[in-house]
Amino acid sequence: MELFKGIRLFTGTKILASRAGRLKRKKRFNSLQNAHKIAIVWSADSEGDLKIINTFYHEMQKRGIHTDILCYYPGPVLPDNLTALRHINCFRKSDLNYIYIPVSSEIIEFINTPYEILIDINFGNHFPLQWISALSMAELKIGTDDGGTSHLMDITINLNGKKEIGYFLDQVKYYLEMINTTD
């Protein structure tokens, strides 16, 4: 059991609210057809989700969309199946400071990259992923309507209690393909 976890999370949440309130980013509704660079933040709570994430990644590659995936693994040791994949950057608790804020230079670079679309897959409502999604400089942020950062998303999807990553990504593709943009 972590000492003073509630107080530490409360402190981190207050700092996040302050920083998110001051965030200046270029907001733009981007369609999946016109996207060149997207990002996914994902919590690896279930090992079965990795196959679905990989399938989505390869589909985006076939469409010519560069995709960066940032994965939070809540366990103490990263499983081999996550460390073996070059297209997924993983971090864990040891990459967080005392109040659960991600501090590695890779994560800070990820946050500051102006992706056209950020897809937030944080079904476990992990604070480090909330931090990353909320402060991301992405032009369009899409996530679920029940996440801790849903009020900071540009598009939220109601999953009707169906927290399945495959269903969520199908809905993301459906709605992002409906957006009519001309570039």
Q: Judge whether residue 93 has pLDDT over 70.
A: yes
Give me the residue spans of the domains in the chain. Answer: 5-178
Q: What is the pLDDT of residue 80?
A: 74
* pTM of the complete model: 0.91
Question: What is residue 112's predicted lDDT score, i.e. its pLDDT?
Answer: 95
What is the average pLDDT across 1-30? Answer: 86
For the cut 60, the answer to whether the pLDDT of residue 183 exceeds it is no
- Structure confidence by residue, pLDDT tens digits, 95-108: 899 999 999 999 99
Helix (H, G, I), strand (E, B) or coil at 6: helix
Architecture of domain 5-178: 3-Layer(aba) Sandwich (3.40)
pLDDT for residue 5 is more than 90: no
Are the CB atoms for 82 and 88 separated by under 8 Å?
A: yes
Position 147 scores a pLDDT of: 64
